[in-house]
Chain A
């Protein structure tokens, strides 16, 4: 029994050591990621809940296993206005690095409360990993650098633990999507196809027939079947890549970004929220040094402050007037704009991950070269 326990304990140690080895990025890199994630959310995907307060009470129908089931109805408008104000405030603090640890936690808690009410209309959506990222990163030390009011060193901060835990949570999330697909899609039956069902449903139910979506019907059956197996393999394999090596994990991240880009072209599904999920593992250390230099220049600092202030003003106006400024420029539900922005987002993500993989390769080659020079070759 004791032997078994020791074996399990060793297995646990090896598991987490491998997870840390594959996912580790230092706090300086994470501070750059913090700014990228903050700007991404402020600019494009800031959650908003004020609209819930305007909906009729009778639409309140929370899922059975949800915290909102403890409530009898939607709270008043003021409640949701406070939630939105806190989301905005926490994102501003996060981007500027004003006590980023507590800001990330406030953002997470407030968003989870808001989402609980948002999903009380009946449909649970699944951008959960973007929120989990905030919870994990809050304790990664990402607020210690490039920050206006840096977080102090704390016992509760642990970069290695935070980032490795986040990696494992991504793997589990993917598993939950892939497991049921595997049971149904890996059928070795060329007459039924899962990918085709997504395609038909998108085109004929949701009228998503943009880009290459209408041409899927011309693809050979064998290729469609291959799509099914590839999707299952992609969703069930991240843990293997993560446990294999750092490079393996980066290759999986690259595949994930490519998967989302292909989904836009073929199925018209942009899923931009995961941009800030995968980029957490990219090493931004070189960008950190550049940012540190540029932010020491007065005129760059002024421009950066101007951009952030403009973003804040826009978001404050939206909060007060209850209308998205994007809706002035875009028609409601304009699918093509979403597609194009998705293509840009995933294009950038692919470029960043590829650059990261190449940089690591160069670093390895350089280290090998240094070792060769340092090693004495003969007796003289």
Chain B
């Protein structure tokens, strides 16, 4: 049978990542670790409305009109559950913000675990060309791409969109 020492080590190895995720949520979730998703959120039963935050990518067509880009196709084959993170960093073209000066972050930085990556202009140029090429494949120009953060309120009884408004917008110049 497994020794007591093995059992103790096993539970430390399993428990530490769990405690880190419990304390810091997904922000510092370690990998690899034996952690399954919890999704512990709640919705109001009485309410006939449900709020959804979503993001649209918008680009300009050849005729000058603006339209929504098929994000799945644009970033294919990147799994769609990564899109949110890619948009947050504006495809890595944004200058990364310095993390908040908290004790845990300071410790990670001093151990060289947490790094702020500043991409070279050449890398950024490559990403812009990559995005431009893929936008053209969808019939858009390769000049500009806009990330539009939106919030819609949907009727839970019939799926009708009750309101839809823009929360924020980031325009990326691809030229």
Q: Could you list which residues of chain A lie within 8 angstroms of chain B, going by C-beta atoms?
A: 8-9, 12-13, 15-17, 20, 51, 55-61, 63-66, 69, 72, 112, 115-116, 119, 121-126, 128-129, 131-132, 161, 165, 168-169, 172-174, 176-181, 183-185, 187, 190-194, 196-198, 200-201, 203-205, 217, 221, 224, 332-333
B165 at the interface (CB under 8 A from A): no
Chain A residues whose CB sits within 8 angstroms of the CB of B37 once the complex forms: 126, 177
A221 touches B81 (CB 8 A): no
| B10, B50, B84, B113: most-surrounded residue (chain A CB, <10 A) | B50
Point out the residues of chain B lying under 8 angstroms from A168, CB to CB.
10
What CA separation (Å) do A66 and B113 show in the bound complex? 9
Q: Which residues on B sit within 8 Å (CB–CB) of A122? A: 82, 84-86, 88-89
B52 adjacent to A204 (CB under 8 Å): yes
* In the complex with contacts A64-B114, A66-B31, A180-B40 CB distance below 8 A: yes
- Residue contacts A-B, CB under 8 angstroms, 24 given: A9-B4, A13-B1, A16-B1, A20-B1, A57-B92, A58-B119, A58-B123, A59-B86, A64-B108, A64-B114, A65-B29, A112-B32, A115-B31, A121-B82, A122-B82, A122-B85, A125-B79, A126-B36, A178-B38, A181-B38, A181-B39, A192-B44, A197-B42, A333-B80
Contacts of A183 in B (CB 8 A): 40
Q: Number of B residues contacting the other chain (C-beta, 8 Å)?
A: 69
Whether, in the assembled complex, B26 has its beta carbon less than 8 Å from a beta carbon of chain A, the answer is yes
Alpha-carbon gap, A65 to B27, bound state (A): 9
Flag whether B91 is at the interface (Cβ < 8 A). Answer: yes
Distance A205 CA – B153 CA, assembled complex (angstroms): 11
CB pair A332 B1 closer than 8 Å? no
Q: List A contacts of B117 (CB < 8 A).
A: 60-61, 72
For residue B25, which residue of chain A has the nearest CB?
A: A180
Asked whether A124 and B31 contact (CB < 8 A) given A69-B115, A196-B45, A204-B52, the answer is yes
> In the complex, how many angstroms separate the beta carbon of A52 from the nearest chain B beta carbon?
9
Interface centre among B34, B44, B108, B119 (most CB of A within 10 A): B34
A115, B79: Cα distance in complex, Å: 13
Task: Tell whether, in the assembled complex, residue B127 and residue A65 are in contact, meaning their CB atoms are under 8 Å apart.
Answer: no
Residues A184 and B14 in contact, CB atoms below 8 Å apart? no
Asked whether any CB of chain A lies closer than 8 Å to the CB of B156, the reply is yes
Please list the residues of chain B having a beta carbon within 8 angstroms of any beta carbon in chain A: 1-4, 7, 10, 14, 17-18, 20-22, 26-46, 50, 52, 54, 72-73, 76-82, 84-86, 88-89, 91-93, 108, 113-115, 117, 119, 123-124, 126-127, 130-131, 154, 156-157, 159
A197 adjacent to B41 (CB under 8 Å): yes
Chain B nearest CB, measured from A278 CB (Å): 14
Are A169 and B34 within 8 A (Cβ)? yes
- The one of B32, B43, B72, B77 in contact with A197, judged by C-beta atoms closer than 8 angstroms, is B43
Q: Cα distance A57–B119 when bound, in Å?
A: 8
A105 CB to nearest chain B CB (Å): 14
- Kindly state the separation between the CA atoms of A129 and B35 in the bound complex, as whole angstroms: 9
Please provide the 8 A-B residue pairs with the shortest distance between their CB atoms, ordered closest to farther.
A122-B85, A58-B92, A65-B30, A197-B43, A177-B36, A180-B38, A56-B127, A184-B40
Is there an interface contact between B82 and A123, defined as CB atoms closer than 8 Å? Answer: yes
In the bound complex, what is the Cα–Cα distance between A185 and B41 (angstroms)?
8
Query: Looking across the interface, which residue of chain B has its beta carbon closest to that of A15?
Result: B7
User: With A181-B40, A332-B73 given, can you name 15 additional A-B contacts, CB distance below 8 Å?
Assistant: A8-B4, A57-B127, A116-B31, A128-B34, A132-B34, A161-B1, A165-B2, A173-B34, A174-B36, A176-B21, A192-B43, A197-B41, A197-B43, A200-B156, A201-B43
